[in-house]
Structure 1
Amino acid sequence: MTDELFTDFVRADREQALGAYGIHVHQEGRPPVEHRFRSDDRVNLYSVAKTFTAVAVGIAESEGRLGVDDRFLDHFPELRAIAADGFEHVTVRHLLTMTSGSGHLWFADRRVDALDLLHEFVAEPLVAEPGTRFAYTGTGFYALGRLIARVTGADLRAYLLPRVFGPLGLHNPAWHCCPLGFPFAESDLFLKTGELARFARLLLQSGVWEGKQVVPPDFVDRMTTDRVDMKEGDAHTDGYGLGVWLEPGGTYRMHGAYGQLAIIDPARRATVTVTAHTDDDTPLLAAVHDLVLPRLG
């Protein structure tokens, strides 16, 4: 089963230099299978971390600590004095869907020079009305990580340890932090291929892990139904949800730079997880869709 499933993908990796480190397939009713191209080490998941942050927001909402439609500044009233005009209308949902309208552009691979990155984000002038413009950036998810710390008293990683990382058996994951000690939230979470595959399986199972409801099922549903359109898509991208990329045909994915992928396919009751390092991950994503998913029936 393993050789048959991965034969074409392994050939494509060799011929096209896809850069795969490992690929893991889970399908309900079958044992999980994995193929390694190099040692199984924890790697930076880059923007896949955004999905973990979104799930933290969903759990916090179920605990009554916040609401997805809360205005962000209602939880940070001390920042109203420095907030850009219009930022008072930015909601948690806008941050989850990257539609805050902020002109602030930042990702975790960039040095943080501001005394407080959150203050810099809130003060940045808006370039669009909140909810009207999708713009891919990391600052909104960093702000969500700060929100989790504000409403729970625990930083994002500490909050998820007993709620997600622990139940999934993800022991002591590293998550790089800003100069103030808050996890970057949008990136720099480190896991193995198979460890990320457990999280993908958790979403496939509507938030249930080994009989326990870890993530509220309604929030897992809303991750794909609360969608926003993008000006430019591609063959495998049809919008953005709450921390996930939406694909044509009902699949959706977590997607990090350099080829970190976790595709959830509800119709096939399957997930495909890849860790990699490639400067252009478009062929890698295409190979998963063309050479792996169709073999699952």
Structure 2
Amino acid sequence: MNRGAIARAAAIVAALLLPAGAMAQTLDLHAMSAEIRAGTYKRIEAIRVIQHGRTVFAEDYRGNDAESRIDARSAGKSITAIAVGMAIEDGKIAGVDQPVFAYFKDREPFAHDGPLKRAMTIRDLLTMSSALDCDDWTDASPGNEERMYETRDWTRFALDIPLFAGFARDANGQGRYAYCTAGAFLLGRIVERATGERFDAYVQRRLFDPLRITGANWTRSPSGEVQTGGQLRLRADDFAAIGQLVLSGGAVEGKQIVSRDWLREMLRVRARATPLDGYGYLWWVRDYRVPGDARPWPGFYMSGNGGNKVVLFPDLDAVVVVLSTNYNQRGMHEMTTAPIERHILPALIAAKAR
């Protein structure tokens, strides 16, 4: 994202999040569905579109139905960010500048211990900018998530990751960006230790119950640790409800579930993750574009392997969910971005203009 795009995203976050506007209208996306069924966009399992708080499009594909639970992979990391904010609001975590390793004194000694590791903060993990030599986009990285999955005790694996050689903080106090699932997993363990509740139970009580989300299917390590770095199976409507909660400023049925201030902090761009994407606290930010239209449409989104997306479009008061199982396939994210930009966004823009 360029500076203009980041400034635009920051302005939207500063206004987070506007109340619902006019009555939503049902969107005609039959052409998109025909292309999905014809194989133009492969392995798309479900799409939901919410505008002004109402479902305007809902379709399931490839034998799925409304009760199907899809593994949205790393999109679950964004729920972990919400959980950290709730634990802070509940007074269980003092703030994002708390040192990570202070929560794991019972697991000492740590490999590669020292001042740099001890200085690592919750904020560092939320922004994927810690001193750990952990990069899931680099096969040789000692902290790559695939290595974690080969172990029984994922907490021990994450605590013992070596430090990144030459790690340094910039003028804002932040390290270099490196995508690290093990760091998101550690955040879940911190929430557990701070709240005294198992992570899945805490999230169910504080977040899912108010949204009427049931039957969440969490992946666990061989030793039973909840995978808070992704691999969570929910219904498409459940992901839509989470997106709508964030879009509406953290309130549901008149009750504030998540702090509006936390959501502003969570969505604020902290790093440039790719040439097109900014990164906040385990949430992504990018400008989506309609073919033939120069105007950018900032989207704040959850993202997971397979092309999974839960995108918030504040300018359109809309949430778009695309669940896809193109796991580990080249072009998997383009396969779900394309129907958003070519079909869903134009329909939402047209509805907004009416």
TM-score in same-fold range (> 0.5): yes
Offset at residue 49 of structure 1 (A): 0.7
* Aligned: 1:258 with 2:306: yes
CA distance, structure 1, for counterparts of residue 338 and residue 280 of structure 2: 21
* Aligned: 1:92 with 2:122: yes
Tell whether the 8 Å contact from 1:80 to 1:88 is kept in structure 2 after alignment.
no
Instruction: Sort the Cα spacing of 1:32 and 1:17 in 2 relative to 1 into closer, same or farther, 3 A.
Output: closer
Offset at residue 107 of structure 1 (A): 3.1
Question: Who is 1:39 aligned against?
Answer: 64
2:110 to 82, 89, 101: 82
Question: Who is 1:50 aligned against?
Answer: 77
Instruction: Sort the Cα spacing of 1:161 and 1:3 in 2 relative to 1 into closer, same or farther, 3 A.
Output: closer
- Note the alpha carbon deviations across 1:126-176, whole angstroms, 9 max, x for none: 112363211112100110111111111111101111111111111131101
Question: Who is 2:316 aligned against?
Answer: 268
Offset at residue 185 of structure 1 (A): 0.4
* Aligned pairs (5 A) from 1:140-289: 140-230=183-273, 232-234=274-276, 237=277, 239-248=278-287, 249-278=297-326, 279=329, 280-289=332-341
Tell whether the 8 Å contact from 1:48 to 1:255 is kept in structure 2 after alignment.
yes
Offset at residue 24 of structure 1 (A): 0.5
Question: Who is 1:18 aligned against?
Answer: 42
Identity of matched residues, % = 27
Instruction: Sort the Cα spacing of 1:185 and 1:121 in 2 relative to 1 into closer, same or farther, 3 A.
Output: same
Offset at residue 119 of structure 1 (A): 2.4
Offset at residue 198 of structure 1 (A): 0.6
The residue identity in structure 1 corresponding to 2:97 is: D
Look at both structures and tell me which one has the larger radius of gyration over its CA atoms: 2
Question: Who is 2:157 aligned against?
Answer: 120
* Aligned pairs (5 A) from 1:102-141: 102-104=132-134, 105-107=143-145, 111-114=149-152, 116-127=153-164, 128-129=167-168, 131-141=174-184
Structure 1: segments with no counterpart, 5+ residues: none
CA distance, structure 2, for counterparts of residue 291 and residue 91 of structure 1: 41
The residue identity in structure 2 corresponding to 1:92 is: I
Tell whether the 8 Å contact from 1:71 to 1:89 is kept in structure 2 after alignment.
yes
Instruction: Sort the Cα spacing of 1:29 and 1:153 in 2 relative to 1 into closer, same or farther, 3 A.
Output: closer
Question: Who is 2:14 aligned against?
Answer: none
Offset at residue 7 of structure 1 (A): 2.8
Offset at residue 259 of structure 1 (A): 2.1
Worse-superposed segment, 167-176 or 79-88: 79-88
After superposition, the CA RMSD in angstroms is 2.0
* Aligned: 1:72 with 2:100: yes
Instruction: Sort the Cα spacing of 1:98 and 1:178 in 2 relative to 1 into closer, same or farther, 3 A.
Output: same
The residue identity in structure 1 corresponding to 2:32 is: F
Tell whether the 8 Å contact from 1:57 to 1:144 is kept in structure 2 after alignment.
yes
Tell whether the 8 Å contact from 2:48 to 2:240 is kept in structure 1 after alignment.
yes
Tell whether the 8 Å contact from 1:27 to 1:270 is kept in structure 2 after alignment.
yes
CA distance, structure 1, for counterparts of residue 161 and residue 146 of structure 2: 18
- SS of residue paired to 1:16: coil
CA distance, structure 1, for counterparts of residue 40 and residue 283 of structure 2: 27
Tell whether the 8 Å contact from 2:46 to 2:323 is kept in structure 1 after alignment.
yes
Tell whether the 8 Å contact from 1:112 to 1:179 is kept in structure 2 after alignment.
no
- SS of residue paired to 1:274: strand
CA distance, structure 1, for counterparts of residue 282 and residue 244 of structure 2: 16
Tell whether the 8 Å contact from 2:145 to 2:180 is kept in structure 1 after alignment.
yes
Instruction: Sort the Cα spacing of 1:108 and 1:64 in 2 relative to 1 into closer, same or farther, 3 A.
Output: farther
Tell whether the 8 Å contact from 2:148 to 2:158 is kept in structure 1 after alignment.
no
- SS of residue paired to 1:200: helix
Tell whether the 8 Å contact from 2:154 to 2:225 is kept in structure 1 after alignment.
no
Offset at residue 122 of structure 1 (A): 2.2
